[in-house]
Amino acid sequence: MKIHNYLLLFFAFLGFAQQSYAQQPTQYTLYMLNPYNYNSAYNGLDGSLSMTGVFRKQWVSFPGSPLHFNVNAHMPIEYISSGVGLAVEHDIIGAYQNTSVKASYSYIHNVGKEGQLSFGLAGRFLQKALDGTKLRAPQGSYDNGINHQDDYIPVGKESGVGFGVDFGIYFKHPSFEVGLSAINLNAPKVNLSTGSLQNITYARGYFLTASYNWEINDKFSLHPSALLKTDFVKFQPEISIIFKYNDNIFGGLSFRGYSTPTIDAVVFLAGMQITKNLMLAYSYDLSIGSLRKFNSGSHEVVLNYNLNKKFGKEVPAKVIYNPRFL
């Protein structure tokens, strides 16, 4: 059996039990440039309307490898000390396709002269689809159509929906930032209803992020950051450092993993502030883990637009109707 068939069966196996768990949260290398993705409490902390798009192709040249798209937007509503956000994510992993639509709200409290402490809550619509036509079972017959001869593998496409709840806390200061968040707190279930597939449970995921801004002089600055992802069964840490020139052009390195079984990749990243409003960044993950022989790395692109304009800072004026213009 070819390697891509093994891969497809591996991902399919995740859903072929009566009570199984969905894959881990999507991997994004440029997490430090898109904090809202992992923490809904970041709503509005960019100070203006902020829109981000992310494209990631993981494990290039490995058939069936993950492909991710993510678009989000969030903004502050200062006169009620709040922020709101919306995110759409779609990923393709082997025979699976996953779609998530998230809407979030956060309450922002000023701490001291420069600090902001935010508490965020989000609801997430989840859809999972499985294309059985992409799967092949060892005992199946495929000369005249698709016959897996396995009740657990669908012949056609299956899909189901669910609803998840996320929560986050985020503290932002000009010198450092810290965030703690959780997704799928209600452990939502998606039922791929036909055939023999039963509920697929989205496991809870927890994220801890931290970053520091060190202004070396008026031209150069250093920005170390870290991300820890866990379900309290497995842990995946990542450390990064970005060197920035003139608050414009930047480059850096990341490392993912902490021991021989968990080491995954060394990352090279670069980007620039193209205009006052537009930032573009790219990263390349060089695999150094167990899959390094089967792929040529991972690519990720992030594009961010920030309006850089304050609005909603004051309570809207009361409307006074003039009867002459009714």
The pLDDT tens digits for 270-311 are 999 999 999 999 999 999 988 888 888 899 999 999 998 876
* Residue 317 covered by a domain: no
What value, to the nearest 5°, has the Cα angle with vertex 254 and ends 210 and 204?
Answer: 55
* Residue 324 covered by a domain: no
Residue type, 301: V
What is the structure's pLDDT at 4? 45
**What domain range is 43 assigned to?**
3-138+154-309
* Residue 165 covered by a domain: yes
Total number of domains constituting the chain: 1
Share of the chain above pLDDT 70, in %: 86
* Residue 48 covered by a domain: yes
Q: Which residue has the tokens 């016959």?
A: 147
Mean of pLDDT over the chain: 85
What is the structure's pLDDT at 18? 39
* Residues pairing with 71 in the sheet: 53, 88
Identify the CATH number of the domain in which residue 261 sits: 2.40.160.40
pTM of the entire predicted model: 0.84
In tens, the pLDDT along 39-86 reads 999 999 999 999 999 999 998 988 888 899 999 999 999 889 999 999
* Residue 326 covered by a domain: no
* Residue 319 covered by a domain: no
* Residue 315 covered by a domain: no
Is 326 a residue whose pLDDT tops 60? no
Taking residues 103-118, what's their average pLDDT?
A: 95
| b/e 199-238 (16+ beta carbons within 10 angstroms → b) | bbbbbbbbbbbbbebeeeeeeebebbbbbbbeeeeeebeb
| b/e 54-64 (16+ beta carbons within 10 angstroms → b) | bebebbeebeb
Cβ distance 189 to 173 under 8 Å?
Answer: no
**pLDDT confidence tier of residue 87, bands split at 50, 70 and 90:** very high
* Residue 8 covered by a domain: yes
Tokens for 133, please give them. 């036509």
Is 325 a residue whose pLDDT tops 70? no
